[in-house]
Amino acid sequence: EAQVTQNPRYLITVTGKKLTVTCSQNMNHEYMSWYRQDPGLGLRQIYYSMNVEVTDKGDVPEGYKVSRKEKRNFPLILESPSPNQTSLYFCASSYGGRETQYFGPGTRLLVL
């Protein structure tokens, strides 16, 4: 089954404790992206990647890091999480950056 998976689905952590949210797709997509969704603000793009070793900033990249060492994986790293990073995070992928995007189920993060 074609899908985008994210882990963990739920995460509670404390300020400053580094964490990684994994994202994997099995559709051989070149484009992958991370978004955060906050009430009243909709989805905002954090980072995206056009291919292995090619990443670029979205609209809200501050406080986040990404890497794309393999085509199927695109982890999101919060090196020193803060409470304002409490949010619902989505990973997505597509063949190209302007084609239909397929979304993962989301990761709900709470930073205390």
Partner 1 sequence: KQEVTQIPAALSVPEGENLVLNCSFTDSAIYNLQWFRQDPGKGLTSLLLIQSSQREQTSGRLNASLDKSSGRSTLYIAASQPGDSATYLCASYTGGFKTIFGAGTRLFVKA
For position 87 contacting partner 1 by CB under 8 A, the verdict is no
Distance of CA 1 to the CA centre of its chain: 21
For position 33 contacting partner 1 by CB under 8 A, the verdict is yes
Q: Which stretch binds partner 1 (CB under 8 A): 10-18, 20-28, 37-45, 75-83?
A: 37-45
Which residues on adjacent β-strands are paired with residue 60? none
Nearest distance from C-beta of residue 80 to partner 1, angstroms = 26
Q: Using alpha carbons, list the distances in angstroms from residue 74 to 25, 28, 41, 90.
A: 9, 13, 24, 12
Structure tokens at 39: 């009430």
* Beta-strand relationship, 19-25 and 102-103: unpaired
Q: Which amino acid is at 13?
A: T
Question: Residue 78 or 92: which CB sits closer to partner 1?
Answer: 92
Question: Residue 41 or 112: which CB sits closer to partner 1?
Answer: 41
- How many CB atoms neighbour CB 73 within 10 A? 15
Nearest distance from C-beta of residue 105 to partner 1, angstroms = 5
Using CB under 8 A, pick the residue from 29, 104, 109, 111 that binds partner 1.
Answer: 104
Residues forming contacts to partner 1 in the complex (CB under 8 A) are: 31, 33, 35, 40-45, 48, 50, 56, 58-59, 90, 92, 97-106
